[in-house]
Amino acid sequence: MARDYQLKTPKREGTSGIDYRAALNEEQHAAVTSPPGAALVIAGAGSGKTRTLTYRVAFLLDQGVDPRDILLLTFTNKAAREMLERVRELVPQDLSMLWGGTFHSIGNRILRRHAEELGFTKSFSILDTDDQKSLLNTVVAAQDIDTKSRRFPKADVLATMFSLVRNTGESLEDIVAVRYPYFEDWFEEIVKIEKDYAAKKLAVNSMDFDDLLVLTLKLLEQDEELRRLYQKRFRYVLVDEYQDTNRVQSELIDVFVGQHKSLMVVGDDAQSIYSWRGADMEHILGFPERYPNAKVYKIETNYRSVPEILELSNEAIRANRKQFEKNLRASREGGSAVPALVPLPDPATQAQFIAQRILELRDEGVEMEEMAVLYRAHHQSLEIQMELTNRGIPFQVTSGLRFFEQAHIKDVTALMRLVVNRKDEVSFKRMVLMTPGIGAKGADKLWALWLKTGWAEQENPPAEFSPKMLEFTVPKKSQKHWEQLCYTLDELVVGEDFARPSSMIYSILEGVYEDYLQANYDNYDNRRSDIEQMMSYSENFADINELLTQLSLMSSADGEPSGRKEELDGEQVTLSSIHQAKGLEYKVVFVIWLTEGMFPNGRVIDADDEAMMEEERRLFYVAITRAKDELYLTYPQINPKSYTGDVFQAPSRFLDDCPNEMLEEWRVGGGGW
């Protein structure tokens, strides 16, 4: 005969004593104190999203919810730490049993307990990017793939392909056809590698980052008892930045929630800008349909920006059809500077204007760390970096390495440096190591042959490199690529002089480097755009030595990718892509290159895809909502330094969405006008 035994709820350490009505505005309070069930919180830019989530956790604890019943999912470890630290400050309870962290960290915790069900042990290794690359190289080597006639995708590219398949649900065939059409001839080999890579990970008891999500989902879907265990455990699930979830993350959330449906997701559809890495905005837009009884809360009070900026942002996003309509209201008083629209003649003048305005703002008391220059693509920062460097204005580049420190830029300049300074062993070896089949020992042998030509001792470059270089002994698989390299070097000289710098870059890109880019980098399009921008910039220089000197000065002497150590008062202006700036805020923001083809991106315009264009508009919205006090929207009217000739540039269509009365046009004179 069974005996009933009732557990008593242990006495809590105490409630927080928070006056939620006093601590929160009306919109936040409604979301924080909402009853159990499914809830979608649309939190506009600067509206206190983190505060809402933090107080929601505190409210649940104050209602007697056991910390172990709560699961908090975030996208960064930093966000998880900050939220839990704030909760600890609010609620005098032990939160050690509350599960809070990134999707990947939660997946890891579950897999550490149950990995045997998937054929792994609990002590499985997690592959970082370098580990993953190494393991993929091992798998490729075992295939004995013949790459003599054409390049095979490198490990980084393969890893990106496989990750997209797993996170988007698209087939590998579609991924290759749409994103990597130049590798379609290798499709059968790529399929085999994908299969063998999965088997290899199992054999060496290792998982990559995607496995932490995919295998957790697989485990919970195939084991009903385990699934019910975690559904019973996590009675309250909270999710941050829900608009950024991909297919696997969305399905994981649904599995965790199960039948109890006690789920609160917080996000902003207007800031969904990561579809290129698998995020699907349909998850947040379709939430009310997937959870039919869900309550939708909108938080529209903005604490960041002055009304003049906020009203502009509302108009800027209004043209998008697919969105939760919202109208952000400023809690700050008006009367500040109206957002500035600044047309400028060319990229150089755009850079001069921004540099001068930064110095003026600094003199007015704005700290440099409170200023940011934002752009659609990394290469659009080139002229800005040069101008700030020349004026001694310290800056940090958060969108990547400084322009001329990037690997693909250094690859291209290596060929130019070698032609100019034929004693440059570093540039020579960098150049030849890009040739398939040539490794470090081969590079040493080729360098010895190069020295024997006597070119290093000549004042002027030889009229042609190929006659002697084609006699160098290279592996058979390298022969075709080596020949093309030799002929490309020939094009870098004209008679006894050097070709124009822009012509040099064009010859290198078209002759040998484009194939290398496609095979070695998953973001080929962006890197090619960088090189084209460098080509345009080099039109400023007739002398290759002058250009190379400028490039050297731009490189960071201290080796720090984020910028120089010589800082003024420890402050630096931030240069960032808009994607990198999401979630941040600055007193002053410059949004640059607002022209058709630059922003929105030319590939999006050519695709004529409404969904893609709406994401571009959301990106513009994210950019302008980073500004607290002052906003400058700039664009060059002509790009006279384009390698294809002068290009007249139409203002971005996004500026058409901004009413004239909400902008103050600045007519900039002097300087290069």
CB 575 within 8 A of CB 373: yes
Q: Which two tokens stand for residue 201?
A: 């990970």
| From 376, 626, 641, 653, the catalytic residue | 626
CB 73 within 8 A of CB 238: yes
CA dist 445 and 452 (Å) reads 11
Angle between helices 382-390 and 524-537 (to 10 degrees): 50
> What one-letter code names the amino acid at 632?
Y
The DSSP annotation for 168-202 comes to H---HHHHHHHH-GGGGGGHHHHHHHHHHHHHHHH
| From 27, 210, 240, 251, the catalytic residue | 240
Residue 264 CA, distance from chain mean position: 27
| From 27, 69, 210, 241, the catalytic residue | 241
Residue 573: name the closest of 560, 553, 590, 556 by CA.
590
CA dist 46 and 626 (Å) reads 9
CA dist 557 and 235 (Å) reads 54
| DSSP code of residue 640 | T
At 480 the three-state DSSP class reads helix
CA dist 385 and 534 (Å) reads 12
Residue 544 CA, distance from chain mean position: 33
Verify whether residue 240 is a known catalytic residue: yes
Backbone φ, ψ for residue 647 (5° rounding): -125, 120
> What one-letter code names the amino acid at 313?
S
CB 637 within 8 A of CB 649: yes
| From 271, 323, 634, 649, the catalytic residue | 271
CB 338 within 8 A of CB 664: yes
Verify whether residue 301 is a known catalytic residue: no
Verify whether residue 49 is a known catalytic residue: yes
| From 33, 50, 550, 637, the catalytic residue | 50
CA dist 635 and 648 (Å) reads 11
CA dist 397 and 386 (Å) reads 12
CB 545 within 8 A of CB 536: no
| From 27, 28, 49, 649, the catalytic residue | 49
CB 319 within 8 A of CB 615: no
| DSSP code of residue 7 | P
Verify whether residue 241 is a known catalytic residue: yes
Verify whether residue 52 is a known catalytic residue: no
Q: Which residues are catalytic?
A: 49-50, 240-241, 271, 626
